[in-house]
Structure 1
Amino acid sequence: MFEMYDLTGFQRDLLYVVAGLDEPHGLAIKDELEEYYEKEIHHGRLYPNLDTLVDKGLVEKGQKDRRTNIYAITRRGEREIEARREWESQYT
């Protein structure tokens, strides 16, 4: 069974960004993370990690048009975020 702790910190941040935006495309996600990290996020890092989230069933990938994919959090992804927040709240 998958648990949130199986994700890298970067993948967890990706999941939170996808959850917080309305069907974002890759560049919108990239822009949000670059603002947070204050450095460039390369496509070779972004898209394989998004694909990992899709493969784990946390994010859905769809097509806006022929060239643009959009992403959305799944119910499972929402549950994992909620479980993580509950766990974190024990220590803050």
Structure 2
Amino acid sequence: MDDLTGFQRDLLYVIAGADQPSGQTVKAEIESYYRSDINHGRLYPNLDTLVNKGLVDKGQHDRRTNYYEISDDGRRSIDERQQWEQQYV
């Protein structure tokens, strides 16, 4: 997880806390946290990065809507991050 941006890490946490969210669901959650609009050009390339790194799995709800789901590696990365944070918080 040390090679992720803060934005990518936040996306990973949102996905981990939801049940197969769509990109739009992730977008709404992250916009709520950031209190600003997140455009598609920022959101989807960062989601693709998480998929390409094996931290998130991507599937299809239907022909138009994809979903995202935390992978085992993604869950492990979050657990390791939280253990590391506990040393300092």
Superposed CA deviations along residues 48-91 of structure 1, whole A, max 9, x for unmatched, are: 00000000000000000000000000000000000000000000
Give the aligned partner of residue 41 of structure 2: 44
Give the aligned partner of residue 53 of structure 1: 50
Amino acid across the alignment from 1:56:
K
Give the aligned length: 89
State how far apart, in whole Å, the 2-side matches of 1:55 and 1:33 are: 20
2:5 aligned with 1:5:
no
Structure 1 unaligned spans of 5+: none
Structure 2 unaligned spans of 5+: none
Give the aligned partner of residue 79 of structure 2: 82
Give the aligned partner of residue 30 of structure 2: 33
Give the aligned partner of residue 23 of structure 1: 20
The alignment-based identity, stated in percent, is: 65
RMSD over equivalenced CA pairs, Å: 0.3
Task: Please state whether the residue corresponding to 1:70 is helix, strand or coil.
Answer: strand
